[in-house]
Structure 1
Amino acid sequence: MIFNVSFKNNLQKTVIYKLFFVGFLLFLNSLSANAQDKEPTWDELANQYECPEWFRDAKFGIWFHWGPQSVPEQGGGWYARHMYMQDVGRQKFGKMAYPYHLQTYGHPSEFGFKDVINEWKAENFDAQALIDFSKENGAKYIMALANHHDHYDLFDSSYHPWNSVNVGPKKDIIGEFEAATRKAGLKFGVTSHDDRFLNWWTPAFGADKTGEKAGMPYDGHLTKADGKGLWWEGLDPKDLYGPAPEDRTPEIIEDIKKNWLKRHIELVDKYKPDVLYNDGFNFTYGEYGKEVARELYTNSLKENGSIDAVMLLKRKAKGTVNEVESGGSNTLRAYPWQSEITFTDWFYKKDRHLTHNARTILEMLIEAVSKNGNLLLSMELNHDGTIPHEIKKSVKIVGDWLKVNGEAIYDTRPWTVYGDGKSVRGEATETVEGELRNATDSQKHGEHFNQRTTATPAFSHDEVRYTTKGDDFYIIVMNPKGGEFLIPSFAKKKESNPGVLKELTQIYDGRTLSFKQTNKGLLINMPAVNGDSYPVVLKANFK
């Protein structure tokens, strides 16, 4: 650019040059600001992502998987779907939903799930008490259900009228959980399960195939106009159940995806979660799900200077942490992951036996930690927001164990092998009729749903798991019994041997144990155990 300007005097010349110089600086600053305003893409964030140390150190979290489906006392964890199905086919866990609904509420053409939502009042919900109980019993982070497959938001949603502030308890459930968790000094996360609601809700548009009301449409067919004069006046059932299957055009489906994006961007921006779990093997709605994950990580990057948040998926994907539902890893993984378990069917039901107790929770926790993972325990709640007695009892036992033995769990890292014993060596163990409980058989069926449960036989007495913390080495005896047992991993000439063992003590009482390290392994003499015992932690001092 050439300037051909004549000046009357030097003063005018100086002023013009100064103005030009200032303008040029402002121009450069605007370029820099524009460059800074450009936020990174999901791929750019994923490429730089490393699981934050706080998550790796935390090890144990508690999850409040709770919502209006906890109102019915029977019918399984997919009550909202199964209450519309006279025949649930292979989904036997929901077989009681339809008959229970008829007996308790009436026919689903007259009293549908929208009305069950209205029954949910959460009248004794005390978020701070629940969080304080969780912290007292060992949880280092809290997760809460933001929505389930029923397409109902448990937060103050601007883009979805069927939410907990507008319908049901008239409370911002996520907001209260988030505030209580921050007050307790814990990390907070949310979970979303909304990606499948259209197919999941298809039965709500059906009708009985047999009986006196055969052919009478269920309430999925109702319109906004049908609510005039009723409790749900002004609400549209189609906003909850989705459009009828025959009306689901590509354009309508796309609008639903865009609405999902708005709702979940708001969820991430308003409550600033440290963890987000999408219940699926891929990002919800593809690029829309990646955009929510990008928002999660971008918020964390701005706030912390690094990505301190965690995105959980059921498959291994760059930039995320892998989640295993109702199961655990079959191997020691080089990267962090998480196991999730629950007590019954995710929503508390009185017609279902407890899948877990304190013993199995501790087993699943120790298994996960020894293999470089975390455990997330769903602590199911009664519909009023209180903890069922038998669940509270088990969690308190876990908490008491962690108070004594937590040094072998929190802030630890795995060793080069995760453990030893019959299941590790692939030897056959006792099985339970009707269930795949043999360790080697379960592994053939993958990792999801291969959990240990209350129906699982006890571990063999030589079963151990390992964790480390700096120079400290921990041997966790899963099912201790008085007497000698051998750990082949510590054989003198074995490659896995960490060294010469100098001292071995029990954490809970400081007792020194006698042992002998040979070419066959480490022979430990355990003290007598009075009856059944929870896992015992031994602290090893290797040279």
Structure 2
Amino acid sequence: MSKLSNLILCNLLVLLTAIPLTAQEKTLTWDELAEQYACPEWFRDAKFGIWFHWGPQAAPEQGGGWYARHMYMQDVGRQKFGKMAYPYHLMTYGHPSEFGFKDVINSWKAENFDAEALINFSKENGAKYIVALANHHDHFDLFDSSYHPWNSVNVGPKKDIIGEFETATRKAGLKFGVTSHDDRFLNWWKPAFGSDKDGMYAGVPYDARLTKADGKGKWWEGLDPKDLYGPAPEDRTPEIIEDIKKNWLKRHIELVDKYKPDLLYNDGFNFTYGDYGKEVTRKLYNNSLSENGKIDAVMLLKRKAKGTVNEVESGGSNTLREYPWQSEITFTDWFYKKDRHLTHNARTILEMLIEAVSKNGNLLLSMELNPDGTIPHEIKKSVVIVGDWLKINGEAIYGTRPWKVFGDGKSVRGEEVETVEGELRNATANQKHGEHFNQRTTATPAFANDEVRFTTKGDDFYIMVMNPKGGEFVIPSFAKSSEVNPGILKGLSQLYDGRKVAFKQSNNGLTINMPAVNGDSYPVVLKAKFKK
């Protein structure tokens, strides 16, 4: 074992003697937990969750989802989504040497935040679990943290955001999760220690260089900017970095113990800070095992790792997976910004949901909020449409399991399809670049009319027609000679009204005669009865 590994293990042992663990002598090791782990049935059945990815970076109306970083950058390089942050900050707040992100946090009051109303709206529109942001790359905790003074109870809203979300979610009878994105804050905050390269403020240090003593007589008196931004890059010794990791562990053990989440997502491809991240997950799972008699919690990572569930950011799986997973999407840049167009509307949300469920996954939708805690009108409108669709068609979504294949159609077969501009493209070409960020968006060409996805529940079989048009289309997968054919089709009807749908099954495929559809339509679900 390396010296570094020995150091980490020793630190963990010291920390664990200081952090109370319920029935510690009976808890299992990470390896023991991972070995027995299976994704909980509640998660597999839930299918659709809503995520409140919300914090002080929502306060500025422009500047992208990494506002706190980009407000310190005159040139954002390839990160063009943040190009408005610096000029917007100058125009709205002043220069970042005088009004930095710490001051943006203080200006964020969340004055109309009503957790119960938000949770009830989410539940009414189909969400079966709720997830809330516990901290972002900005290193600001949205919960009552004993180990980090820069938190939403001390600064800004003066509210326990996570606590209010958790209470409202439990009251609504839903599962509750939290997300942490904090591990990259040191590199993420480096621009805050710089200065303008040119202009009247050239060479004037940004506010991350301020000390605790500089706060005397100011609103932040008693707070240390170093606790928010981290130590200056030149001061980051191995010992200081290790102390930051220890602090992360204390904060997140407290998060897991105090709010008892059913789900935890660490925004990374590996466990946060290696063994420290595993220790938090071990605590999450042991708590669940103690309370439920089984591991009924979910740990999400962006890579596939034993004992966890895989998360795909702004994308979805290209294949039907053996193990459950989750797709996550958001409307703009993760924090609501008025200078960005909406990436999603009701149509694309439903497409991403159906795609995920047909491939053994879930969809987590980030419903961005205004800085005051209310839902933007255009976002609310789309979520209500999704909710209305689920009220009618939820039978084909909730509690279902995938078929042997996830669907059929031109994109599944890799054929060329016509775009909205009348051009031809290969429908699967963009998927060769991986699964993260391969989502369907408002700019994505419509599905071909023969595009279908499948789910099952017991003896019921559901065929979801993604872009229905009146007339005939063929599903080759259901040919009598097909290896994945569920059997001889005995009946086919529209789920929403029970109306019979004409069909003909042959050795070449299943021909379906779709009833007329007026204009563009959201996906239509057909309920099929097969004789096996």
**TM-score range for the pair, normalised by the shorter chain length:** over 0.9
1:509, distance to aligned residue in structure 2 (A)? 1.1
User: Aligned partners of 1:95, 1:219: CA distance in 2, in Å?
Assistant: 20
Q: Out of 252, 262, 268, which is 2:250 matched to?
A: 262
Residues 214 and 430 of structure 1: is their aligned pair in 2 closer, same or farther, counting only changes over 3 Å?
farther
SS at match of 2:462: strand
| Structure 2, unaligned runs of 5 or more | 1-21
Matches within 5 A, 1:188-207: 188-207=176-195
User: Aligned partners of 1:144, 1:446: CA distance in 2, in Å?
Assistant: 27
Matches within 5 A, 1:143-292: 143-292=131-280
On the 8 A contact 2:210/2:225 being kept in 1, the answer is: yes
Q: Out of 74, 77, 83, which is 1:95 matched to?
A: 83
- What is the identity, as a one-letter code, of the residue corresponding to 1:42? W
User: Aligned partners of 2:426, 2:142: CA distance in 1, in Å?
Assistant: 39
> What is the match of residue 51 of structure 1?
39
Matches within 5 A, 1:114-513: 114-430=102-418, 439-513=427-501
1:440, distance to aligned residue in structure 2 (A)? 1.7
User: Aligned partners of 1:432, 1:204: CA distance in 2, in Å?
Assistant: 44
Deviations 1:380-428 (A, max 9, x none): 0000000000000000000000000000000000000000001100112
User: Aligned partners of 1:358, 1:474: CA distance in 2, in Å?
Assistant: 21
1:429, distance to aligned residue in structure 2 (A)? 2.9
User: Aligned partners of 1:103, 1:149: CA distance in 2, in Å?
Assistant: 24
- What is the identity, as a one-letter code, of the residue corresponding to 2:339? D
User: Aligned partners of 1:217, 1:36: CA distance in 2, in Å?
Assistant: 48
Deviations 1:216-258 (A, max 9, x none): 1000100000000000000000000000000000000000000
User: Aligned partners of 2:87, 2:163: CA distance in 1, in Å?
Assistant: 35
- What is the identity, as a one-letter code, of the residue corresponding to 1:71? A
SS at match of 2:417: coil
User: Aligned partners of 1:213, 1:150: CA distance in 2, in Å?
Assistant: 24
On the 8 A contact 1:313/1:322 being kept in 2, the answer is: yes
1:431, distance to aligned residue in structure 2 (A)? 5.4
Task: Give the share of equivalent positions with the same residue, in percent.
Answer: 88
Residues 431 and 207 of structure 1: is their aligned pair in 2 closer, same or farther, counting only changes over 3 Å?
farther
1:441, distance to aligned residue in structure 2 (A)? 1.8
- What is the identity, as a one-letter code, of the residue corresponding to 2:513? N
- What is the identity, as a one-letter code, of the residue corresponding to 1:128? E
> What is the match of residue 10 of structure 1?
none
> What is the match of residue 29 of structure 2?
41
- What is the identity, as a one-letter code, of the residue corresponding to 1:164? S
SS at match of 1:429: strand
Residues 36 and 122 of structure 1: is their aligned pair in 2 closer, same or farther, counting only changes over 3 Å?
closer
Q: Tell me which structure has the larger Cα radius of gyration.
A: 1
User: Aligned partners of 2:38, 2:53: CA distance in 1, in Å?
Assistant: 27
Please report the TM-score for the alignment, with normalisation by the length of structure 2.
0.94
User: Aligned partners of 2:427, 2:414: CA distance in 1, in Å?
Assistant: 7
On the 8 A contact 2:414/2:426 being kept in 1, the answer is: no
On the 8 A contact 1:432/1:455 being kept in 2, the answer is: no
User: What do you get for the CA RMSD once the two structures are aligned?
Assistant: 1.3
Residues 1:112 and 2:120 are matched in the alignment: no
- What is the identity, as a one-letter code, of the residue corresponding to 1:476? M
> What is the match of residue 530 of structure 2?
542
Matches within 5 A, 1:524-539: 524-539=512-527
On the 8 A contact 1:431/1:438 being kept in 2, the answer is: no
Deviations 1:32-56 (A, max 9, x none): xx99824211111000000000000
SS at match of 2:364: strand
Residues 259 and 36 of structure 1: is their aligned pair in 2 closer, same or farther, counting only changes over 3 Å?
closer
- What is the identity, as a one-letter code, of the residue corresponding to 2:84? M
User: Aligned partners of 2:427, 2:132: CA distance in 1, in Å?
Assistant: 31
- What is the identity, as a one-letter code, of the residue corresponding to 1:189? G
SS at match of 2:162: helix
User: Aligned partners of 1:396, 1:420: CA distance in 2, in Å?
Assistant: 29
On the 8 A contact 1:65/1:346 being kept in 2, the answer is: yes
SS at match of 2:416: coil
User: Aligned partners of 2:225, 2:207: CA distance in 1, in Å?
Assistant: 8
On the 8 A contact 1:313/1:320 being kept in 2, the answer is: yes
User: Aligned partners of 2:496, 2:23: CA distance in 1, in Å?
Assistant: 57
Matches within 5 A, 1:509-520: 509-520=497-508
User: Aligned partners of 1:125, 1:488: CA distance in 2, in Å?
Assistant: 51
User: Aligned partners of 1:109, 1:85: CA distance in 2, in Å?
Assistant: 12
User: Aligned partners of 1:438, 1:70: CA distance in 2, in Å?
Assistant: 38
SS at match of 1:179: helix
Deviations 1:282-315 (A, max 9, x none): 0000000000000000000000000000000000
- What is the identity, as a one-letter code, of the residue corresponding to 1:235? L
Residues 35 and 361 of structure 1: is their aligned pair in 2 closer, same or farther, counting only changes over 3 Å?
closer
1:212, distance to aligned residue in structure 2 (A)? 1.1
- What is the identity, as a one-letter code, of the residue corresponding to 1:101? H
> What is the match of residue 17 of structure 2?
none
Please report the TM-score for the alignment, with normalisation by the length of structure 1.
0.92
1:209, distance to aligned residue in structure 2 (A)? 0.4
User: Aligned partners of 1:417, 1:385: CA distance in 2, in Å?
Assistant: 41
Deviations 1:485-508 (A, max 9, x none): 000000011111110000000011
On the 8 A contact 2:420/2:446 being kept in 1, the answer is: no
| Structure 1, unaligned runs of 5 or more | 1-33
1:439, distance to aligned residue in structure 2 (A)? 3.3
User: Aligned partners of 2:435, 2:293: CA distance in 1, in Å?
Assistant: 35
- What is the identity, as a one-letter code, of the residue corresponding to 1:161? P
- What is the identity, as a one-letter code, of the residue corresponding to 1:215? G
State how many pairs are aligned. Answer: 508
1:432, distance to aligned residue in structure 2 (A)? 8.1
SS at match of 1:454: coil
Q: Out of 478, 494, 510, which is 1:522 matched to?
A: 510
